[in-house]
Amino acid sequence: MPEMEGKNVLVTGGAGFIGSHLCDSLLTEPVSKLVAVDNLFLGKESNLNDAKQDDRFIFRNLDVTNYEGLRDTIVLCDIDVIFHFAVIPLEASLEKPRWSFEQNVKMTENISEIVRTADKKITLIACSSSEVYGSALYTPMDENHPLLPHTPYAASKAASDLLVYSYYKTSGIDTAIVRPFNNYGPRQNEGSYAGVIPKTIKRILDGHKPVIYDDGKQTRDFIYVKDTADWTVGIYKNDNTRGEIINLASGKQIPIEVVIKGICKELNYNGEIEYREKRPGDVRKHEGCVRKAVKLLNFNANVDYSEGIKQTVQWYVNNCT
* CB-based contacts of 314, cutoff 8 Å, min separation 6: none
Residue 38, SS3 per DSSP: strand
Choosing from 67, 138, 153, 236, the catalytic residue is 153
DSSP states of 199-230: HHHHHHHTT---EEETTS--EE-EEEHHHHHH
The Cβ-side half-sphere exposure at 95, using a 13 Å CA radius, reads 7
Annotation marks residue 153 as catalytic: yes
Residue type for position 303 = V
- Exposure string for 59-91, b = 16+ CB within 10 A, e = fewer: bbebbbbbeeebbebbeebebbbbbbbbbbbbb
List Cα–Cα distances, 298 to 14, 217, 239, in angstroms.
Answer: 26, 32, 14
Residues serving a catalytic function are 153
